[in-house]
Amino acid sequence: MTDRFDPATLDDGGLGSRSVKVLCDGQHQSGAFIASPNFASYRYAWLRDGAFCARALDVVGEHARAGQFHRWVERTVLRHSDRAESVIEALTAGRVPDAEEMLPTRYDLEGRLERPGEVEDEPWPNFQLDGYGTWLHELETHHRRTGNESFDAGAVDLVARYLAAGWQTKCYDCWEEFGDGHHASTLAAIAAGLSSAARLLGNRAFERESERVRTLLLTEFVRNGYLRKGRTDDRVDASLLWTTLPFGVLDVDHPTMGATAVAVRSQLQSAFGGIYRYRGDTYFGGGEWVLLTCWLAWYDARTGNRSGYEQARRWVIASVDAAGDLPEQTTTHAQDPTMVDPWVRRWGPVATPLLWSHAMYLIASEAAASWN
């Protein structure tokens, strides 16, 4: 078990302590984390966002709360086991189910399926695989950190079999925008999740499947020495950092990972220090994302780049809103300023607080704490 990281020791105007409060306040009694309490379209629970929120709470010693999230995921996936088994059976027989038949990327806070039209008047993609791989990986991380060996093996096995059967299926990327191919950060999450399931269950078949995913990622998603966003998309995406942290598909000092981090910094970091998702982003104008800036800070902390970490840290602290919260993104230096207002009229102001942003701030801060 690692020592508890105390965010009150940070010289950040109380942002660390505030981040813990935002995460705790945003956890439903079921154990789920709401993505953002003040943004109607984000009133759901994503496995991906929630897994990183749980990781952040583990970082600060809130292990019971982190465990409550993992128990919620276990109950939720088992609640929808018939759907999962149907998908596995279809894929095994060579039939690719429609996206609506797959397990969703988001649930309501009680673990129920979203009702059609509940989020907005137009369809919003709800089929992704990265969240399930992320959860498996973070479940193992939680148990390794806490020394708690209790988990629902049936839930782990079900999710791992679902991923093993479906990882070659075209799903939406982690941003729920591109659904016409395969995506590097999604494959990294799946590879990591399958490896974690293999260790948790002692099932080497899942490790062999993980290696197949990793091999595809490294043979078909690397161009000019660094990872690219998609199998047919040569752009750099900041989510490519996930390949090393936390998923460990590539070590932080692997040449391909180093080149990918350089590409993220050179192509996606604004002149002001924030990180864009990818070039050409128009969601709320395609602004600088807090959680992704924290991700680069995490990478810099792990690789000993103090100046890079401090630059990102200063930018994040400067992004705190009037209530003391971290938003999803800032739009002051948006890539396409003409697209800010249309999104505000459609969904309201940028989501704040975004629990995932606060979680990543804590995770990055802990990674740098060893310098002190």
Cα gap 372→369, rounded to integer Å: 6
HSE-CB at 257 with a 13 A cutoff on CA atoms is 21
Residue with tokens 């292990």: 63
* Active-site pick, 281, 288, 300, 328: 328
Active-site residue, 173 included: yes
45, β-bridge pairs: 107
Q: CA angle, 313 as apex, 307 and 318 as ends, to 5°? A: 130
Active-site residue identified among 114, 176, 211, 310? 176
CA distance 24 to 63: 12
Given a contact cutoff of 8 angstroms between Cβ atoms, the answer to whether 210 and 198 are in contact is yes
Whether the CB-CB separation of 213 and 159 falls below 8 Å is answered with no
- The helix or strand, by DSSP H or E, that contains position 262, with its residue range, turns out to be helix 255-268
Q: Tell which residue, 362, 367, 370, has the closest CA to residue 8.
A: 362
Distance CA 160, CA 231 (A): 23
Distance CA 55, CA 355 (A): 12
Structure tokens at 353: 């607080």
Tokens standing for 90?
A: 């279809």
Q: Give the Cα separation of 24 and 70 in Å (integer).
A: 15
- DSSP readout, 153-211? HHHHHHHHHHHHHHTTS-B--TTS---SB-BHHHHHHHHHHHHHHHHHHT-HHHHHHHH
- Chain centroid to Cα 176, Å, comes to 12
Active site residue 251: no
Q: Which of 12, 58, 173, 281 is catalytic?
A: 173
Neighbours of 225 (CB within 10 A): 12
Does the annotation count 366 as an active-site position?
A: no
Q: At what angle do helices 63-79 and 81-92 cross, to 10 degrees?
A: 60
Residue type, 20: V
Tokens of 107: 């649930």
| Residue positions annotated with a catalytic role | 173, 176, 328
